[in-house]
Structure 1
Amino acid sequence: MERWKINLAVLWIGQFLVMSGMTMIMPFLPLYLQDLGMTNEHEIAIWASIIFAGNFVTSFLAQPIWGGLADRYGRKVMLLRSGFGMAVVMTLMGFADSAWQLLLLRMVNGTISGFAPAAIALMSASAPRERMGFAMGTLQSGGVAGTILGPLMGGAMAEWIGYRPIFYVTGALLFTASVLASLLVKESFNKTKAQNQPRVSVLAGLKQLGKIPQLPALFSITFLIQFAVLSPMTLIPLFVQDLHGKTDMLPLLAGLVGSVNGFSNVIASPLLGRLGDKIGQQRILLVCLIGAAFAFIPQALVSNVWQLIVARFFFGMFIGGLLPSVNALIRQYTPEGMESRAYSFNTSTLSLGNMIGPLVGTTLSMWIGGIRGIFVLAAVLLFANAIWARKALVAPKTERA
């Protein structure tokens, strides 16, 4: 097997395990907080959103720093630092016995994270340019599938082994993924050349990349994808309860609803990435943006759980074409030597969407018709973003440095 394909397979596994570990607590977190003594439904929803978002608050701040270090010292080093560090922190979460302790550990986890941008940058450097869309689509399917399938896995394990052991299992899986990466992933990186490049601060790097008009538009798409996907997530267990009633299967059903788009995402990402290599990533990006916006509307109109599951499955097909196209286009427009920094900024916007999405969704749901109003709002935002992206991406291509 070609070296880049080996890297792709190992990094896919790592992406999946890292992102599923970050989202696995979603379906049972509100129920877990009830076990810790909380009784007010609104208080539970707010705390669940804060704990979930805490990871992404610190990740948003830390990612550009790790990206700059990756451009100077190598992407694999950052990959292993993040993987082994998160394995330890995730295991420690299993010993937490209060909401405050969970929040603190989630924030530490976000600070040391950085597996995803390092994996994407490493893959962008090793995959052939004519296969970039396929490579990014396949790799991204691991991360997105982990984000979406994590709730399903968490809901299932909550039924089978209880809440705390889930954190121990997740820590062990992250450790395994990091060991595999250390043994099997190979990187071609000229450290001497990289360290001889002028040092560029985080703000200076952001300003330099911001002058390339396509990059801010691509970063905004990443933000809105995560915002749209995660803004209803903390409300889904309660929405499923309203649609289906209280049953023993509630955690599993909530996990299925939250993750069903992951199944279609895994299928669509590599296929749409490969299609983008043939017809252009810009076309795939714009079609999927508009399609994802339309796919939110049926979710606002459902009357039972099974309708919601079907609607979210088709939504996942369009989401599957978005992030791979974004990552392939970022590589296309980013100057040489700044790839890790560009991907780290993109990951910061992803973390910002992860952070703001649940908080804004929980807050706005009280004024715009609950979770149904959140679905409509997400559709409107994606339509608006499609207009901006079209204007930015049809402009003359920026010359690569």
Structure 2
Amino acid sequence: MERWKLNLAVLWLGNFLVMAGMTMITPFLSLYLQQDLGVIGEHEIGVWAGLIFAANFVTSFFFQPLWGKLSDRYGRKVMLLRSGFGMSIVMVLMGFAATPLHLLLLRMANGIISGYSPAAVSLVSASTPKEKIGFAMGTLQSGGTAGTILGPLIGGLMADTFGFRPIFYITGSLMFVASVLSWLLVRERFDRAAARVAPQASLASGLRQLAAIRQLPALFSVTFLIQFAMLSPMALIPIYVQHLHGTTENLAFWAGFVGSVTGFSNMISAPLLGRVSDRKGATRVLVYSLLGAGLLFIPQAFVANVGQLLVCRFLLGCFVGGLIPTVNALIRRHTPDDKVSMAFGFNSSAVALGNMAGPVIGGALSGYIGIEGLFLISAAALLGTSLWARSSLVNGTPAATSGP
């Protein structure tokens, strides 16, 4: 096997395991707090679940630029292994948490250490022939997407089979195996001497240049609002499923199924909506996808059983498939060729910020308006964002003169 293909295969597996491990706790986090860590009361559970879910993204938001700079100086593989081995240890320790505070601190540590996926992207892009870059990036991304989608479902199945704590031990072990494979099989050509003397680009000056392109701040804001709306009710869905299901039998499975079904329809719809955006325009697809997603949050507040919730979540995923891909396409369209990577970097920060704010604010509000109210807030946010996207992005002139 060619070297770049072997790198890609190993890092695809690593990306899948890391993202699955990060999302595997989603379907049972609130149940873990309730049954193993002794948190009592829906409001208390909601607040702790929101804080713990967001903690990883908070510290990751602040530390990712540091790891990026260090990878440019010392190599991507070093950062890859640092993140993989570090997260495997932290994940195992989560299974020994005795209080919600322990779990919160470990999630914060996990965010500090994280960075496997960005390092994998950099390493694959540096080792792949130029004519194969698109295929390699798409394949690597599919590993992370598959892990994000299947993680909640796998976590729910494992929780029903083994209980909550063993999942952390199993997940940490799988991350460790992925890191060992990366250590033994992945190769990187990296000139450390040249890297040490290379000038460091200023993020502040780059941000000022990108902010001058009026569409880009709007797109970064749209990314934030999408993540905020999607994640604000996420931590409380297991409790909602418990109310609808009416029994604890197979509860973790159903919670995981509800969490994953949106991802399955997302995978189906994203390529189809991508083709439509090529013909009709990415802005139009983004606006209609925001409208559809916003409208489909409304019935989730009024469902009577888990089956109805599953249908709503599946249909929601059909529209979600047109959100982030079209935002990325529009960012590429409006960004000069020499600033593309930086623009996507700032957009990733917007994703992390939405991931942070959504669960925290959702958890805080849940005690007053319930998860039903969170669904309605998400609907209002996406519907409002659709109007803003239309007014901000129409009649935009592409800034880049060449590119894919």
TM range (shorter): 0.7 to 0.9
Moved more, 234-243 or 25-34: 25-34
Q: Is the 8 A contact 1:300 1:372 kept in 2?
A: yes
Any conservation in 2 of the 1:94–1:168 contact (CA below 8 Å)? yes
Name the amino acid aligned to 2:349.
S
**TM-aligned CA distance change 1:286 to 1:109, over 3 Å:** same
Q: Which residue of 1 aligns with 2:269?
A: 268
| Mapping of residues 181-200 of structure 1, within 5 Å | 181-182=182-183, 198-200=199-201
Distance 1:238 1:258, change over 3 A: same
Q: Per-residue CA shift, 1:28-56, capped at 9, x if unaligned?
A: 22222232222233212211221111111
Partner of 2:176: 175
2:336–2:401: 8 Å Cα contact kept in structure 1?
yes
Residue of structure 2 equivalent to 1:232: 233
Deviation at 1:302, TM superposition (A): 1.6
Q: Deviations over 1:182-210 (max 9, x none)?
A: 56666677877766654234444433433
Q: Where do 5+ consecutive residues of structure 2 fail to align?
A: none
- Count of paired positions: 399
Q: 1:163 to 1:144 in 2, by over 3 A?
A: same
Q: Which secondary structure state, in structure 2, belongs to the residue aligned with residue 365 of structure 1?
A: helix
Unaligned runs of 5+ in 1: none
Structure 2 counterpart of 1:304: 305
The secondary structure found in structure 2 opposite 1:302 is coil
Read off the aligned partner of 2:84 and give its amino acid letter.
Answer: G
Q: Classify 1:209/1:17 alpha carbon distance in 2 versus 1 (closer, same or farther; 3 Å).
A: farther
CA–CA distance in structure 2, aligned partners of residues 291 and 75 of structure 1: 40
Return the alpha-carbon distance in structure 2 between the equivalents of residues 109 and 15 of structure 1.
Answer: 15
Cα offsets for 1:265-303 (capped at 9, x unmatched): 233334544665676544543443333223223323322
* Aligned twin of 1:17: 17
- The residue type equivalent to 1:91 in the other structure is V
Task: Quickly say closer, same or farther: Cα 1:309–1:56, change in 2 above 3 A.
Answer: same
- Go from structure 1 to structure 2 and tell me whether the alpha carbon gap of 1:140 and 1:375 turns closer, same or farther (over 3 Å shift): farther
3-state SS of 2:27 partner: coil
Q: How many Å apart are 1:118 and its aligned residue?
A: 3.6
The 5-angstrom pairing of residues 19-58 of structure 1 reads 19-34=19-34, 35-58=36-59
Distance in 2 between residues matched to 1:282 and 1:10, nearest whole Å: 36
TM-score (norm 1): 0.84
Aligned to 2:378: 378
Residues 108-127 of structure 1 aligned to structure 2 (within 5 Å): 108-120=109-121, 126=128
Residues 290/11 of structure 1: CA separation in 2 closer, same or farther (3 Å cut): farther
Identity across matched positions, percent: 61
Residue-by-residue CA offset, 1:344-378 (whole Å, 9 max, x unaligned): 4323222222221112112223444x222222221
Query: CA separation of 1:360/1:200 partners in 2, compared to 1, >3 Å: closer, same or farther?
Result: same
2:61 equivalent in structure 1:
60
Query: Given that residues 333 and 399 in structure 2 are in contact (C-alpha distance below 8 angstroms), is that contact kept between their aligned partners in structure 1?
Result: no
CA distance change for structure 1 residues 252 and 112 in 2, over 3 Å: closer, same or farther? same
Distance in 2, Cα, partners of 1:11 & 1:318:
29
For residues 266 and 392 of structure 1, do their structure 2 counterparts lie closer, same or farther at Cα, with a shift above 3 Å needed?
Answer: same
For the aligned residue pairs, the C-alpha RMSD in angstroms reads 3.4
Q: How does 1:1-400 map to 2 (within 5 A)?
A: 10-34=10-34, 35-70=36-71, 75-120=76-121, 126=128, 132=134, 139-182=140-183, 198-273=199-274, 276=277, 281-331=282-332, 333-334=334-335, 341-368=342-369, 370-390=370-390, 391-392=392-393, 394-399=395-400
Letter in 2 for 1:59: S
Structure 2 CA distance for aligned equivalents of residues 50 and 326 of structure 1: 28
Q: Check 1:211–1:186 CA distance in 2 against 1; reply closer, same or farther (3 A cut).
A: farther
> TM-score w.r.t. structure 2 length?
0.84
The letter for the 2-side match of 1:26 is T
Counterparts of 1:129 and 1:276, CA distance in 2: 24
Is the Cα–Cα contact under 8 Å of residues 334 and 397 in structure 2 kept in the other structure? no
Contact 2:336/2:399 (CA < 8 Å) preserved in 1? Answer: no
